[in-house]
Structure 1
Amino acid sequence: MTVRVSGKVVTPNGVIRQGCVEVVDERIRAIAEYPSVRDGHWIVPGFVDIHTHGGGGHTFTTGDVDAARGAAAFHLAHGTTTLLASLVSSPYDLMRAATAAYAPLVREGVLAGVHYEGPYLSTVRCGAQNPEFLRDPSTDELADLIELSGGTLRMVTIAPERDGALEAVKLLVSHGIVAAVGHTDATYEQTLAAVAAGACVGTHLFNGMRQPHHREPGPVFALLGAPNVFCELVADGVHLHDGTLAFAAQTAGPDRAVLITDAMAAAGMADGEYELGGQSVTVADRVARLTRDGSIAGSTLTMDAALRQAVGAGVSMVDAVRMAATTPARAIGVDDRVGALVPGRRADLVVLDDDLRVVQVMRAGAWL
Structure 2
Amino acid sequence: MPIPTEPSISLRGNLLTPSGWRLGELHVDAGRIRAVEGEAVDPADNDLPRLLPGFIDLHVHGGGGADAMEGQKAVATLAETHVRFGTTSLLATTMTARRDEVRQALGEITKYLESPSTVAARVLGVHLEGPYINPGKLGAQPQHAQTASIEELDALMALAPIRLMTLAPELSGHAEVIRYLSDKGVRVQLGHTLGSYEEGVEALAHGACGFTHLFNAMTGLHHRKPGMVGAALAHAEYAELIPDLLHVHPGAIRAALRCIPRLYAVTDSTAAAGMPDGEYKLGEQSVTKCLGGVRLADGTLAGSTLTMDQALRNFVTLGLSLAEASDRLSLFPAEFLGLHDIGRLSVGAKADVVTLDADLNIVSVHVDGRLVCGESHVPHA
Normalization by structure 2: what TM-score? 0.90
**Which residue of 241, 251, 263 maps to 2:259?**
251
Structural mapping, 1:111-130, within 5 Å: 111-130=123-142
State the secondary structure of the residue aligned to 2:246. Answer: coil
Match of 1:66 in 2: 73
For the Cα contact (< 8 Å) 2:47–2:357, is it kept in 1?
no
Q: Quick check: 1:264–1:298 contact (8 Å CA) kept in 2?
A: yes
Pairing 1:207–2:212 present: no
Distance 2:157 2:129 in 1: 15
CA displacement at 1:7 relative to structure 2: 1.3
- Matched letter for residue 156 of structure 2: L
**Structure 1 segment 79-94 matched on structure 2, within 5 A:** 79-94=86-101
- 1:107 offset after TM fit, Å? 4.7
**Residue aligned with 1:301, SS:** coil
Could you say which residue in structure 1 is the equivalent of 2:49? 41
Q: Which amino acid aligns with 1:19?
A: G
Which residue of the partner structure matches residue 296 of structure 1? 301
2:60 is aligned with 1:56: no
Q: Secondary structure at the match of 1:20?
A: strand
Aligned to 1:12: 18
Q: Measure, in 2, the Cα distance between the counterparts of 1:302 and 1:135.
A: 31
- Give how far 1:79 is off: 0.8
Q: Name the residue aligned to 1:101.
A: 108
Paired positions, count? 358
SS in 2 for 1:245: helix
Q: CA deviation at 1:252?
A: 1.2
Which segments of 5 or more consecutive residues in structure 1 lack a partner in the other structure?
none
Does the C-alpha gap of structure 1 residues 310 and 264 become closer, same or farther in structure 2, counting only changes over 3 Å?
same
Say which of 189, 204, 220 aligns to 2:198: 189
2:376 — aligned with what? none
The residue aligned with 1:144 is 155
Q: Which residue of 1 aligns with 2:312?
A: 307
Mapped partners of 1:105, 1:174: distance in 2: 27
Shift of 1:276: 1.4
Question: Of 219, 228, 231, which residue of structure 2 is paired with 1:219?
Answer: 228
Q: Which amino acid aligns with 2:136?
A: V
- Residue of 77, 83, 101 corresponding to 1:76: 83
Q: Which whole-Å CA distance do the structure 2 matches of 1:224 and 1:19 have between them?
A: 39
Q: Deviations over 1:244-280 (max 9, x none)?
A: 2222123213xx1110000000001111112212222
Aligned equivalents of 1:200, 1:12: Cα separation in 2: 24
Task: Provide the rounded CA distance (Å) in 1 between the counterparts of 2:193 and 2:10.
Answer: 47
Query: 1-side partners of 2:221 and 2:113: how far apart?
Result: 37
Contact 2:133–2:146 (CA<8 Å) still a contact in 1?
A: yes
CA shift for structure 1 position 103: 1.7
Q: Secondary structure at the match of 1:367?
A: strand
The answer on 1:164 being equivalent to 2:173 is yes
TM-score w.r.t. structure 1 length? 0.93
Root-mean-square deviation (CA, aligned residues, Å) is 1.7
Provide the residue aligned with 2:323 in structure 1: 318
The partner residue of 2:278 within 254, 267, 272 is: 272
Report the alpha carbon displacement of residue 147 of structure 1 after superposing the two structures with TM.
2.6
User: What does residue range 221-240 of structure 1 map to in structure 2 within 5 Å?
Assistant: 221-227=230-236, 229-240=237-248
Once the two structures are TM-superposed, the CA of residue 34 in structure 1 deviates from its matched residue by 5.2
Q: Give the % identical residues.
A: 39
Aligned partners of 1:316 and 1:90: how far apart in 2? 40
Residues of 2 paired with 1:35 and 1:48: CA distance?
A: 26
SS state of the match for residue 212, structure 1? coil
> Structure 1 CA distance, aligned partners of 2:250 and 2:296?
23
Instruction: Compute the displacement of 1:9 (Å).
Output: 1.2
